[in-house]
Structure 1
């Protein structure tokens, strides 16, 4: 099976040797997004702003793959403060509706560029 790199100028460029997403068959694997604003390359200020920017970045890459957020089947969320778990749940509901994707949330010591949240995803195109 061949695979194809996917990218969007509406999301930040990769900050290392990886693709924003890779499609293999009908499955798209999205790399982790942090709250970098694509225009400036700067991290959004504040936790809530970072979460919303992460979700917008994921949405841009999903749309570049020809899909929609409704087709995401799995999310992994990495938080530097698990005390903000409830706020993440609240903000996610502005982007996702039932049936919600499967999900894991992990507490981590640190993230690239001092980010407070990172999310990666798996999308299945129909």
Structure 2
């Protein structure tokens, strides 16, 4: 049985999920850091062959590196949005998430999506306090 799509492809979707250039580069002058599009990359390549939990592990490791570059740690994260292509992997992804945020849990939303850039199964965005 074919499930109909809930939306029509946009201009960015027409070329498939290989498009990876739609993320912002700066946050302006603010005491907040907006980290977007943390894809499961290793050596510049999206690791689409890994399981969704393994991809989330890479996303969170990349987030930690990004925060370290700004002199911050995971306890400075205020909000996380996780995007996953398979909601059946939610519990496994949640377990990975809890390992990283052991003492503090920022506000979080998990969104099920049809496709992610580069064929990824998981990605995340975060809002971080810089104060």
Give the TM-score band, short-chain normalised: 0.7 to 0.9
Residue number in structure 2 paired with 1:16: 21
Residue number in structure 1 paired with 2:61: 56
- 3-state SS in 1 of match to 2:35: strand
Query: Hey, what's the Cα distance between the residues in 2 that align with 1:20 and 1:62?
Result: 15
Q: Map 1:82-101 to 2 at 5 A.
A: 82-101=87-106
Match of 2:86 among 77, 81, 90: 81
- 3-state SS in 2 of match to 1:58: helix
Pairwise CA RMSD: 1.8
Q: How many equivalent pairs are there?
A: 111
Is the 8 Å Cα contact of residues 80 and 117 (structure 1) preserved in structure 2? Answer: yes
Structure 2 residue 47 is matched with structure 1 residue 43: yes
- Answer 1 or 2: higher relative contact order, Cα 8 Å, separation at least 6: 2
Q: Identify the structure with the greater strand proportion.
A: 1
Is the 8 Å Cα contact of residues 39 and 46 (structure 2) preserved in structure 1? Answer: no
Residue number in structure 1 paired with 2:11: none
- 3-state SS in 2 of match to 1:104: strand
Is the 8 Å Cα contact of residues 82 and 107 (structure 1) preserved in structure 2? Answer: yes
Residue number in structure 2 paired with 1:125: 130
Could you list the per-position Cα deviations for residues 2-52 of structure 1 after superposition, in whole angstroms to 9, with x for gaps in the alignment?
A: xxxxxxxxxxxxx42544663632110001211111x25241522222111
Kindly state the Cα deviation for residue 94 of structure 1 after the two structures are TM-superposed.
1.6
**TM-score, length-scaled by structure 1:** 0.78
| Unpaired runs of at least 5, structure 1 | 1-14
**TM-score, length-scaled by structure 2:** 0.75
| Unpaired runs of at least 5, structure 2 | 1-19
